Structure 1
Amino acid sequence: MFKGFEEFQKVSKDGFDASVRSFGEMNKGFQAIAAEVTDYSKKAFEDSTRAFEQLIGAKSVEQAVEIQTQFAKKAYDTYLAEVSKLGEMYAGLAKDAYKPVEAAMTKKVA
Protein backbone atom coordinates (compact mmCIF):
# COMPACT_ATOMS: atom_id res chain seq x y z
CA MET A 1 0.00 0.00 0.00
CA PHE A 2 2.83 2.42 0.86
CA LYS A 3 4.59 1.54 -2.38
CA GLY A 4 1.51 2.66 -4.36
CA PHE A 5 1.37 5.90 -2.38
CA GLU A 6 5.08 6.55 -2.93
CA GLU A 7 4.66 5.90 -6.64
CA PHE A 8 1.70 8.30 -6.75
CA GLN A 9 3.77 10.92 -4.90
CA LYS A 10 6.67 10.53 -7.36
CA VAL A 11 4.40 10.80 -10.39
CA SER A 12 2.73 13.88 -8.90
CA LYS A 13 6.09 15.50 -8.18
CA ASP A 14 7.37 14.73 -11.68
CA GLY A 15 4.21 16.21 -13.19
CA PHE A 16 4.51 19.33 -11.07
CA ASP A 17 8.19 19.74 -11.98
CA ALA A 18 7.35 19.35 -15.67
CA SER A 19 4.62 21.99 -15.35
CA VAL A 20 7.00 24.42 -13.65
CA ARG A 21 9.63 23.91 -16.38
CA SER A 22 6.96 24.30 -19.04
CA PHE A 23 5.72 27.58 -17.56
CA GLY A 24 9.34 28.76 -17.33
CA GLU A 25 9.81 28.08 -21.04
CA MET A 26 6.57 29.89 -21.84
CA ASN A 27 7.69 32.87 -19.78
CA LYS A 28 11.01 33.08 -21.64
CA GLY A 29 9.23 32.78 -24.97
CA PHE A 30 6.70 35.50 -24.17
CA GLN A 31 9.49 37.80 -23.01
CA ALA A 32 11.34 37.27 -26.29
CA ILE A 33 8.16 37.94 -28.27
CA ALA A 34 7.45 41.11 -26.28
CA ALA A 35 11.00 42.34 -26.91
CA GLU A 36 10.62 41.61 -30.63
CA VAL A 37 7.30 43.47 -30.85
CA THR A 38 8.79 46.42 -28.97
CA ASP A 39 11.77 46.59 -31.34
CA TYR A 40 9.48 46.37 -34.36
CA SER A 41 7.22 49.12 -33.00
CA LYS A 42 10.18 51.44 -32.39
CA LYS A 43 11.53 50.85 -35.88
CA ALA A 44 8.11 51.33 -37.48
CA PHE A 45 7.66 54.62 -35.61
CA GLU A 46 11.10 55.82 -36.70
CA ASP A 47 10.38 54.87 -40.33
CA SER A 48 7.04 56.68 -40.21
CA THR A 49 8.63 59.78 -38.75
CA ARG A 50 11.37 59.76 -41.38
CA ALA A 51 8.79 59.38 -44.19
CA PHE A 52 6.71 62.24 -42.76
CA GLU A 53 9.78 64.48 -42.65
CA GLN A 54 10.52 63.62 -46.27
CA LEU A 55 6.92 64.37 -47.26
CA ILE A 56 7.12 67.79 -45.63
CA GLY A 57 10.19 68.55 -47.74
CA ALA A 58 8.70 67.30 -51.01
CA LYS A 59 9.00 69.84 -53.82
CA SER A 60 6.20 68.42 -55.97
CA VAL A 61 3.16 66.20 -55.83
CA GLU A 62 5.01 63.55 -57.85
CA GLN A 63 7.85 63.52 -55.34
CA ALA A 64 5.36 63.24 -52.46
CA VAL A 65 3.62 60.32 -54.17
CA GLU A 66 6.97 58.61 -54.73
CA ILE A 67 7.96 59.07 -51.07
CA GLN A 68 4.60 57.71 -49.90
CA THR A 69 4.81 54.75 -52.31
CA GLN A 70 8.30 53.82 -51.14
CA PHE A 71 7.24 54.12 -47.50
CA ALA A 72 4.13 51.99 -48.02
CA LYS A 73 6.11 49.26 -49.82
CA LYS A 74 8.80 49.19 -47.15
CA ALA A 75 6.23 49.20 -44.33
CA TYR A 76 4.30 46.33 -45.96
CA ASP A 77 7.44 44.23 -46.55
CA THR A 78 8.67 44.86 -43.01
CA TYR A 79 5.27 43.96 -41.59
CA LEU A 80 5.12 40.67 -43.50
CA ALA A 81 8.63 39.75 -42.36
CA GLU A 82 7.73 40.58 -38.76
CA VAL A 83 4.51 38.55 -38.85
CA SER A 84 6.45 35.59 -40.24
CA LYS A 85 9.12 35.93 -37.56
CA LEU A 86 6.53 36.18 -34.79
CA GLY A 87 4.76 33.10 -36.13
CA GLU A 88 8.02 31.17 -35.95
CA MET A 89 8.61 32.46 -32.43
CA TYR A 90 5.13 31.34 -31.29
CA ALA A 91 5.66 27.91 -32.85
CA GLY A 92 9.02 27.62 -31.11
CA LEU A 93 7.44 28.72 -27.84
CA ALA A 94 4.81 25.99 -28.08
CA LYS A 95 7.42 23.38 -28.91
CA ASP A 96 9.76 24.44 -26.10
CA ALA A 97 6.93 24.64 -23.56
CA TYR A 98 5.76 21.14 -24.48
CA LYS A 99 9.20 19.48 -24.20
CA PRO A 100 9.20 19.17 -20.37
CA VAL A 101 5.68 17.73 -20.40
CA GLU A 102 6.60 15.31 -23.19
CA ALA A 103 9.70 14.20 -21.27
CA ALA A 104 7.65 13.62 -18.13
CA MET A 105 5.04 11.63 -20.05
CA THR A 106 7.72 9.51 -21.72
CA LYS A 107 9.29 8.90 -18.33
CA LYS A 108 5.95 7.76 -16.84
CA VAL A 109 5.25 5.38 -19.72
CA ALA A 110 8.69 3.80 -19.59
Structure 2
Amino acid sequence: MDIVRCTIKLDKICALHILNSLAIQLRQPSSNALLPRFTMLQPFTQIQKFGQDNLDATVKALGAFSSNSQAIAAEAADFARKSFEQTSSTVEKLLGVQTLDKAVEIQAAYVKGAYDSLVSQTAKMGALYSALATETVKPYEGLLSKATAA
Protein backbone atom coordinates (compact mmCIF):
# COMPACT_ATOMS: atom_id res chain seq x y z
CA MET A 1 0.00 0.00 0.00
CA ASP A 2 2.84 2.36 0.83
CA ILE A 3 4.47 1.58 -2.52
CA VAL A 4 1.30 2.60 -4.36
CA ARG A 5 1.10 5.89 -2.44
CA CYS A 6 4.75 6.55 -3.16
CA THR A 7 4.26 5.89 -6.87
CA ILE A 8 1.21 8.17 -7.06
CA LYS A 9 3.06 10.92 -5.20
CA LEU A 10 6.06 10.46 -7.49
CA ASP A 11 3.83 10.62 -10.58
CA LYS A 12 2.29 13.90 -9.34
CA ILE A 13 5.72 15.36 -8.70
CA CYS A 14 6.95 14.23 -12.12
CA ALA A 15 3.89 15.66 -13.81
CA LEU A 16 4.33 19.00 -12.03
CA HIS A 17 8.01 19.07 -12.98
CA ILE A 18 7.19 18.36 -16.63
CA LEU A 19 4.50 21.06 -16.69
CA ASN A 20 6.87 23.59 -15.09
CA SER A 21 9.63 22.85 -17.58
CA LEU A 22 7.12 23.07 -20.43
CA ALA A 23 5.88 26.44 -19.21
CA ILE A 24 9.45 27.72 -18.94
CA GLN A 25 10.26 26.55 -22.47
CA LEU A 26 7.12 28.22 -23.83
CA ARG A 27 8.06 31.54 -22.23
CA GLN A 28 11.50 31.48 -23.87
CA PRO A 29 11.30 32.73 -27.48
CA SER A 30 14.60 31.12 -28.43
CA SER A 31 13.38 27.64 -27.61
CA ASN A 32 11.99 26.05 -30.76
CA ALA A 33 12.11 22.51 -29.40
CA LEU A 34 8.34 22.40 -28.79
CA LEU A 35 7.35 24.38 -31.89
CA PRO A 36 6.75 21.33 -34.17
CA ARG A 37 4.35 19.84 -31.63
CA PHE A 38 2.13 22.91 -31.59
CA THR A 39 2.29 23.57 -35.34
CA MET A 40 1.00 20.05 -35.90
CA LEU A 41 -2.33 21.17 -34.45
CA GLN A 42 -2.64 24.07 -36.88
CA PRO A 43 -3.83 21.97 -39.86
CA PHE A 44 -6.57 20.50 -37.68
CA THR A 45 -7.86 23.96 -36.79
CA GLN A 46 -7.71 24.92 -40.47
CA ILE A 47 -9.72 21.83 -41.39
CA GLN A 48 -12.23 22.63 -38.65
CA LYS A 49 -12.57 26.24 -39.89
CA PHE A 50 -12.95 25.05 -43.47
CA GLY A 51 -15.68 22.62 -42.38
CA GLN A 52 -17.49 25.40 -40.52
CA ASP A 53 -17.21 27.68 -43.55
CA ASN A 54 -18.66 24.92 -45.75
CA LEU A 55 -21.55 24.41 -43.34
CA ASP A 56 -22.29 28.15 -43.26
CA ALA A 57 -22.18 28.33 -47.06
CA THR A 58 -24.50 25.33 -47.36
CA VAL A 59 -27.04 26.89 -44.99
CA LYS A 60 -26.97 30.15 -46.96
CA ALA A 61 -27.28 28.27 -50.26
CA LEU A 62 -30.26 26.26 -49.02
CA GLY A 63 -31.95 29.47 -47.84
CA ALA A 64 -31.43 31.09 -51.24
CA PHE A 65 -32.66 27.95 -53.00
CA SER A 66 -35.78 27.83 -50.84
CA SER A 67 -36.74 31.47 -51.33
CA ASN A 68 -36.11 31.36 -55.09
CA SER A 69 -38.02 28.10 -55.45
CA GLN A 70 -40.98 29.69 -53.69
CA ALA A 71 -40.83 32.65 -56.08
CA ILE A 72 -40.77 30.29 -59.08
CA ALA A 73 -43.73 28.31 -57.73
CA ALA A 74 -45.70 31.50 -57.08
CA GLU A 75 -45.00 32.79 -60.58
CA ALA A 76 -45.99 29.46 -62.17
CA ALA A 77 -49.23 29.37 -60.16
CA ASP A 78 -50.01 32.98 -61.16
CA PHE A 79 -49.40 32.17 -64.82
CA ALA A 80 -51.63 29.10 -64.63
CA ARG A 81 -54.41 31.15 -63.01
CA LYS A 82 -54.18 33.91 -65.66
CA SER A 83 -54.06 31.35 -68.46
CA PHE A 84 -57.15 29.60 -67.11
CA GLU A 85 -59.02 32.91 -66.83
CA GLN A 86 -58.04 33.89 -70.37
CA THR A 87 -59.12 30.51 -71.75
CA SER A 88 -62.47 30.48 -69.94
CA SER A 89 -63.17 34.07 -71.08
CA THR A 90 -62.46 33.07 -74.67
CA VAL A 91 -64.73 30.00 -74.41
CA GLU A 92 -67.56 32.20 -73.07
CA LYS A 93 -67.10 34.60 -75.99
CA LEU A 94 -67.06 31.73 -78.48
CA LEU A 95 -70.31 30.32 -77.05
CA GLY A 96 -72.10 33.62 -77.73
CA VAL A 97 -70.87 34.03 -81.32
CA GLN A 98 -73.42 34.07 -84.17
CA THR A 99 -71.08 34.01 -87.19
CA LEU A 100 -68.06 32.03 -88.22
CA ASP A 101 -66.06 35.18 -89.00
CA LYS A 102 -66.52 36.46 -85.44
CA ALA A 103 -65.48 33.04 -84.03
CA VAL A 104 -62.31 33.05 -86.13
CA GLU A 105 -61.59 36.62 -85.00
CA ILE A 106 -62.01 35.68 -81.31
CA GLN A 107 -59.90 32.54 -81.75
CA ALA A 108 -57.13 34.50 -83.51
CA ALA A 109 -57.10 37.10 -80.72
CA TYR A 110 -56.91 34.32 -78.14
CA VAL A 111 -54.00 32.60 -79.89
CA LYS A 112 -52.11 35.89 -80.24
CA GLY A 113 -52.68 36.76 -76.57
CA ALA A 114 -51.73 33.25 -75.42
CA TYR A 115 -48.53 33.35 -77.47
CA ASP A 116 -47.54 36.79 -76.14
CA SER A 117 -48.32 35.64 -72.61
CA LEU A 118 -46.23 32.49 -73.07
CA VAL A 119 -43.25 34.42 -74.43
CA SER A 120 -43.29 36.91 -71.57
CA GLN A 121 -43.76 34.12 -69.01
CA THR A 122 -40.83 32.22 -70.49
CA ALA A 123 -38.61 35.30 -70.08
CA LYS A 124 -39.76 35.75 -66.46
CA MET A 125 -39.17 32.10 -65.62
CA GLY A 126 -35.74 32.18 -67.28
CA ALA A 127 -34.78 35.18 -65.13
CA LEU A 128 -36.09 33.44 -61.99
CA TYR A 129 -34.17 30.24 -62.71
CA SER A 130 -31.04 32.26 -63.47
CA ALA A 131 -31.42 34.05 -60.12
CA LEU A 132 -31.94 30.67 -58.44
CA ALA A 133 -28.68 29.31 -59.83
CA THR A 134 -26.72 32.50 -59.14
CA GLU A 135 -27.88 32.99 -55.56
CA THR A 136 -27.56 29.31 -54.70
CA VAL A 137 -23.92 29.14 -55.85
CA LYS A 138 -22.92 32.58 -54.50
CA PRO A 139 -22.07 31.38 -50.94
CA TYR A 140 -19.57 28.89 -52.37
CA GLU A 141 -17.64 31.41 -54.51
CA GLY A 142 -15.03 32.35 -51.91
CA LEU A 143 -14.50 28.88 -50.51
CA LEU A 144 -12.35 27.62 -53.37
CA SER A 145 -9.98 30.56 -53.15
CA LYS A 146 -9.74 30.11 -49.36
CA ALA A 147 -9.02 26.39 -49.75
CA THR A 148 -6.27 26.91 -52.35
CA ALA A 149 -4.72 29.77 -50.34
CA ALA A 150 -4.52 27.63 -47.21
Do both proteins adopt the same fold according to a TM-score greater than 0.5, normalized to the shorter chain? yes
Identity of aligned residues (%): 37
How many matched pairs?
Answer: 110
**For each residue in 1:76-96, what CA deviation from the matched residue of structure 2 results, as whole angstroms up to 9, or x when unmatched?**
110011011101111111111
Is 1:35–2:74 an aligned residue pair? yes
Write the distance in 1 (CA, Å) between the matches of 2:91 and 2:134.
41
**Deviation of residue 106 (structure 1)?**
3.8
Write the distance in 2 (CA, Å) between the matches of 1:51 and 1:106.
57
**Deviation of residue 103 (structure 1)?**
3.0
RMSD: 1.2
Is 1:54–2:93 an aligned residue pair? yes
Write the distance in 2 (CA, Å) between the matches of 1:30 and 1:86.
11
**Deviation of residue 107 (structure 1)?**
4.1
Residue number in structure 2 paired with 1:104? 143
Unmatched tracts of structure 2, length 5 or more = 1-39
Bigger radius of gyration among the two: 2
Residue number in structure 1 paired with 2:62? 23
Q: Alignment partner of 2:142: what SS?
A: helix
**Deviation of residue 24 (structure 1)?**
1.0
Write the distance in 1 (CA, Å) between the matches of 2:115 and 2:79.
13
Write the distance in 2 (CA, Å) between the matches of 1:92 and 1:109.
27
Residue of structure 1 aligned with 2:108, choices 69, 75, 84: 69
**For each residue in 1:12-53, what CA deviation from the matched residue of structure 2 results, as whole angstroms up to 9, or x when unmatched?**
110111011111101111110000000000000000000000
Write the distance in 2 (CA, Å) between the matches of 1:75 and 1:58.
20
Write the distance in 2 (CA, Å) between the matches of 1:10 and 1:32.
33
Provide runs of 4+ in structure 1 moved above 6 Å. none
Unmatched tracts of structure 1, length 5 or more = none
Is 1:81–2:120 an aligned residue pair? yes
